[in-house]
Amino acid sequence: MMLDILTAPFMKEMTKTTSNLYRLGWDERNGGNISYLLNEEELAPYLDLNSVRRVVPMNFDASALAGCYFIVTGSGKYFKNVIDAPALNLGIIRIAKDGRAYELLWGFEDGGLATSELPTHLMNHTKRLSVDPTHRVIIHCHATHLIAMTFTHDLDEVEFTRTLWQMCTECLVVFPEGVGIIPWMVPGTDSIGKATAEKMADMRIVLWPHHGIFGAGPTMDDTFGLIETAEKGAEVYTAVCSQGGIKQTITDRQLQDLADAFQVTPRAGVLHV
C-alpha cells in the first residue's frame, strides 16, 4: 500500500518553499519556478514508478538527465495556490530515455504542464551536477531588491559581488564564489538557459538583470538561504542608497580576515589585499 504522497518530506519542502517565496513577494502571480531532483528511494513509498500518466515531448535534448526524477512547479501556476492544491500546481516527472520528453508520474491533474523554464532548469541541473554531485535544487524567483539593484548598480560581476559582500557580513561566507550576471535575454529560451548554465559552472547564483535570480544548491533550505542572503545584501544596499550613500563599509582587509576565519576562498579578483 502506497503512503500518502502529500506527507512526503519533499512535498512538504515544496509547499513550504513556494508559500514563503510568495509571502516574501518574490514570486508574484505565476512568476518563478522550482525544480527538485529526487531519487527512486524517496519516491517508491509514495508512487508506482511504472505508472506513467502522460508523456510530454520537449524541444530540448535532456539525455544527460535521462531517467532522473524531478518535482517541479507548473506552467502558469500561482505559487500562492500550491499549498492548497499541490496536485494541480506541482508535478513529478521523469526524463525519458531518449531525453526528448518527460513522463508525468503525478500531479498537474488539470492537464497542466511543467514550467516553461524547464529546459533552462535541466541545462542548469546538468551543469551543477557536473561540478557538484550533491546538487539537487534550482529556484528561480523575482527577489525584489536584487532586481532593483540591477537598475542602479554597475553590472560588472566583480563589482556587484564586492558590493553585496560589503553590505552584510554573512554574504561572503554564504557565497564566496560571488554572483554571475548574464545580459538581459528573453526568458524561456535555450539561449538564456545556456548562458545561465555557463555561469553555473563556477557559481550558484546567477542574476538575470531586470528580471530575477537563479539559485542552485544541494537542499531546499540551502538554496533558499543562498537567495535570501543575497537579497538581504541588496536590501541593505537599497536602504544605504536611500539614506544618502555609503560613508563607511567593511574593508577588503576585513573581508579577507572574515574569509580566513570561516575557511572560505573569495572569488579571485574581487578583494584587493
Is 211 assigned a ligand-binding role in the annotation?
yes
Residue 117: active-site member = yes
Cα–Cα distance between 141 and 139 in angstroms, integer?
6
Check the annotation: does 142 bind a ligand: yes
Residue 155 main-chain phi, psi, to 5 deg: -90, 15
Provide the 8-state DSSP code for 29: T
Question: CA 230 to CA 213: how far, in whole Å?
Answer: 10
- Using DSSP, state whether 181 is helix, strand or coil: strand
210 is in an annotated binding site: no
Q: Identify whether the C-beta of residue 10 lies closer than 8 Å to the C-beta of residue 71.
A: yes
Q: Are 239 and 149 in contact (CB under 8 A)?
A: no
Report yes or no: 206 and 213 within 8 Å, Cβ to Cβ.
Answer: yes
Pick from 27, 206, 29, 224: which is nearest to 139 by CA?
224
What phi and psi, each to the nearest 5 degrees, are found at residue 16?
Answer: -70, -45
Q: 28, 41, 103, 117: which one is catalytic?
A: 117
The annotation places the binding site at 140, 142, 211
Catalytic residue list: 117
The annotation places the binding site for Zn(2+) at 140, 142, 211
